A and B are shown apart, each in its own frame.
Chain A
Amino acid sequence: AQRVTQPEKLLSVFKGAPVELKCNYSYSGSPELFWYVQYSRQRLQLLLRHISRESIKGFTADLNKGETSFHLKKPFAQEEDSAMYYCALSGHSGNTPLVFGKGTRLSVIA
């Protein structure tokens, strides 16, 4: 069964500190992994997808198949990073519905 686990409901960091949002997944095949972000009362937006291997807003995420993880990292947190972050998984065929983790709320303290 497909499952995404985000162990932290809330993560508070000080501005300028490093951030790591954890995501672990369970999937029998080769998944596509995503990070979505939701700013206060806004729609979800795609932040990263693992196949792109890009950095968006200073965030990066590396797929570790051995540890079945896709942690989101940023070296220096900014106040505008405060938001809800969801890790999501899709089957090999990208049009299969996303399975979401329960989300982690990131609060960056000035």
Chain B
Amino acid sequence: DAGITQSPRHKVTETGTPVTLRCHQTENHRYMYWYRQDPGHGLRLIHYSYGVKDTDKGEVSDGYSVSRSKTEDFLLTLESATSSQTSVYFCATYRDRGLLEQYFGPGTRLTVT
């Protein structure tokens, strides 16, 4: 699992509140990604990072922001949560040496009421 953890694992929040999800990795991987998983849509990229303080938008970035102040942590913030952001959020890292592949975290199930 490349030492990837996500917190919280489950969260219920109300519409309009800010929410921050955390992804933590222990392998010193340079690249990190946030995806959301929804039935009928598969996984869609929200934001990604290619280094500390280097981030870029993905396919569904509206309503989300990210920050990466340390290699090991990649934070995803929903600035004002909406019901359409109810989803399962997965963080992933890319091992850019040795066996090249993306590793996924366990996911965070977010419900916005």
Contact = CB atoms under 8 A, between A and B. Distances in A.
Contacts of A86: 42-43
A70 interface: no
For chain A, the bracket of interface size reads 20 to 34
A100 B50 contact: no
Nearest to A46: B101
B19 interface: no
Contact of A100 (B31, B43, B94, B107): B43
Given A86-B42, A86-B43, A95 B106 contact: no
A57 interface: no
A102 B90 contact: no
Nearest to A87: B42
The DSSP consensus for interface residues of chain B is strand
Contacts of B104: 36, 43-45
B60 to A, nearest CB: 12
B42 A95 contact: no
A66 interface: no
Given A95-B96, A97-B48, A46 B102 contact: yes
A103 interface: yes
B33 interface: yes
Interface of A: 6, 9, 34, 36, 42-46, 49, 86, 94-95, 97-103
7 contacts: A42-B106, A44-B43, A49-B101, A86-B43, A94-B94, A94-B100, A98-B43
